[in-house]
Amino acid sequence: MSKDIQLQGGQGKAEQQWRALVEQIDRHAQGKTGQMLGGISPIQTTLVYLDWLSHLMASPGKQLDVLKGTLEDVQEATVKLMQPGQHPSNCCDDPRFSSPAWQQWPFHLYAQGFQIMERAWDRATHDVPGLSHKHSDVASFAARQWMDVFSPSNLPWLNPDVIQATREEGGVNLFRGAMNWLDDAHRLAHKQAPAGTEAFEPGVNVAVTPGKVVFRNKLIELIQYSPATDKVHAEPILIVPAWIMKYYILDLSPHNSLVKYLVDQGHTVFMISWKNPTAADRDLGMEDYRVDGVMAAIDAVSKIVPERKIHSVGYCLGGTMLQIAAATMGRDKDDRLATMTLLAAQGDFSEAGELMLFINEAEVNLIEAIMAEQGYLKGSQMAGTFQLLHSNDLIWSRLLKNYMLGLRDKPNDLMAWNADTTRMPYRMHSEYLHKLFLHNELASGRYEVNGQPIWFTDIHVPCFAVGTVTDHVAPWKSVYKLHLLPLDVTFVLTSGGHNAGIVSEPGHPHRSFQIHHRPPEERYVAPERWQANTPHREGSWWPAWENWLVSHSSGLVAPPQMGLPDQKKKLPDAPGEYVHQL
């Protein structure tokens, strides 16, 4: 009897070892595939293509409609060409063809022909009978990417600006472009920062607001900024940036630092600086980022500024984690928060914009395989996805300028910060993709903390939320979903994108915003109607937010002490050490 049990136990262990080997082989193969293809699943892409093609082939009426629309475009272009002084591209709003040289023959023909093809592909990938909305969006996105590759603006022999520059400089522009390419290739091979960005260094000319690291653990350094006024507002501000980025996006140069602006207005500001994880941190999960990140920071701030509630601020993924922490605190009757501000941060991922094109079971499985090999997801691997969302601005226009015209972009603090990438731990990023993007657990009341679910109705503090008009990472209509909840919400919609819309200091040209306060009892207004009816204001939204913070504060007091009262270990001055981790 005991021999049979031992035999069965041995067989069970052998089966487990075999299954582990099979899984390891598959993970390794998928990880290598994902690394070669930039995390894009070839299987999922092929399935979408076949789904789109089969539905289009089965829809002769749709084919006729695409043909009819294209012939009408050709006819309209031909008629305009026959009119003296009229070129079809004159009415073009595509910045790739905005140069006056594109209005001349034959270049206006190239531009117009390309745009006709773009519209034809757009028609062919939308409103195909039987094709799902998700697959339609993916097919349309893929078609745009391929069309962008073959845009006449990207081909030196069809681009009049490149031809003119080559003629005037005798080809020297192409030589400079070749040198730029070699320099970029060398930097990429040696994992060096893009050209010019080395001029910006945290603690030297960015992230220079005075302060001290007052707390450190395995995941965060907490920075307390030195007061700039004799009196400060009683309630401190704690900022939770995303760990997908370095924190100093909010403390760039002195003229556009949100941190410095708040300190100058008499606020006590604390900032989380996240550790840049390595393979050794592969098992750090979302709960670690809540407990050892947000909650550890709140505990430290509460000791430094006792008996005062905290103005909490979360940016991007940091805002998502702040919502999780705030809901957990509300559920557990922890009332240490005074307000919650969300900067381009989502809690409901049901309409998370074009990023959802890359989020499905196949893509997530491929990303997990990449992370299983490395222990983390590289910042460069995430950056590739964001570049595809803005391929004209972030890929092709730069190739044109740097390699064909031989010109270099003048680096700035935001570009340098953007190149200073971080990594995402395997477990945390896997949980983030599964729980939030794929299953939307937080918005559906299924996200659990300590074995119990949390939801937004557990949040009982006034909220200030900021969405940006051209945000493809956290679309403003997704951020706006806070209005679906019985919360006290002040919502701002500002010009700009995910980063530039937030770094929108007073005095920045061409900035505007809309703002409206919605008390809990006010009826819901659809985002489109809100946008149409809410008045525009010129300038930065920062002063409006600062006024809101003051209105939820209890007055001016003497600045608090710098650091924890029982701190014995000497910690560095701001910006700390974690921000320098490569």
CATH number of the domain within which 330 lies: 3.40.50.1820
Q: Are residues 457 and 505 in the same domain?
A: yes
Segments forming the whole domain that contains residue 57: 42-82+99-136
Task: Please identify which of the residues 91, 92, 316, 463 carries the catalytic annotation.
Answer: 316
523 lies in some domain? yes
Q: How far apart are CA 320 and CA 375, in angstroms?
A: 23
Q: What is the Cα 104 distance to its own chain's centre?
A: 39
Q: Which one-letter amino acid corresponds to residue 147?
A: M
Whole-number pLDDT of residue 188: 80
Whole-number pLDDT of residue 90: 45
Q: Are residues 22 and 105 in the same domain?
A: no
Place of tokens 């403390």: 251
Q: How far apart are CA 555 and CA 231, in angstroms?
A: 9
Radius of gyration of the chain (CA): 27
543 lies in some domain? yes
Residues 6+ apart with CB under 8 A from 17: none
Q: Are residues 457 and 321 in the same domain?
A: yes
Whole-number pLDDT of residue 359: 73
Q: How far is CA 549 from CA 161, 505, 541, in A?
A: 50, 17, 13
426 lies in some domain? no
Q: Are residues 452 and 541 in the same domain?
A: yes
Q: Are residues 108 and 240 in the same domain?
A: no
Residues 6+ apart with CB under 8 A from 231: 266, 556, 557, 558, 559
Per the annotation, the verdict on 92 as an active-site residue is no
Into how many domains does the chain fold? 3
Q: Are residues 234 and 130 in the same domain?
A: no
DSSP tally for the chain: helices H, then strands E: 20, 16
Whole-number pLDDT of residue 174: 92
47 lies in some domain? yes
Q: Are residues 22 and 58 in the same domain?
A: no
Region label for 510, one of left (φ > 0), alpha (ψ between -120 and 50) or beta (otherwise): left
Q: Are residues 18 and 65 in the same domain?
A: no
What the block records as the tokens of 475 is 């679309």
Q: Please report the DSSP string for 466-513 in residue order.
A: EEETT-SSS-HHHHGGGGGSSS-EEEEEESS-TTTTTS--TT-TT-EE
Assessment of whether the complete model's pTM goes beyond 0.85: yes
Q: Are residues 126 and 26 in the same domain?
A: no
Q: Are residues 223 and 305 in the same domain?
A: yes
Query: By the 8 A CB rule, do 510 and 500 touch?
Result: no
Instruction: Please give the average pLDDT of every successive group of 10 residues along the chain, which has 582 residues.
Output: 55 75 72 63 82 94 94 88 58 77 88 92 94 88 87 91 93 92 87 84 95 97 97 98 94 96 98 96 96 98 96 97 97 97 94 73 77 82 60 71 86 88 92 90 93 92 96 92 93 95 94 96 94 96 98 96 88 96 90
Instruction: Report residue 134: phi and psi, to 5°.
Output: -60, -45
Whole-number pLDDT of residue 535: 96
Treating both helix axes as pointing N-terminal to C-terminal, what angle do 107-125 and 60-81 enclose, rounded to 10 degrees? 160
Query: By the 8 A CB rule, do 200 and 411 touch?
Result: yes
Whole-number pLDDT of residue 259: 98
Q: Are residues 297 and 338 in the same domain?
A: yes
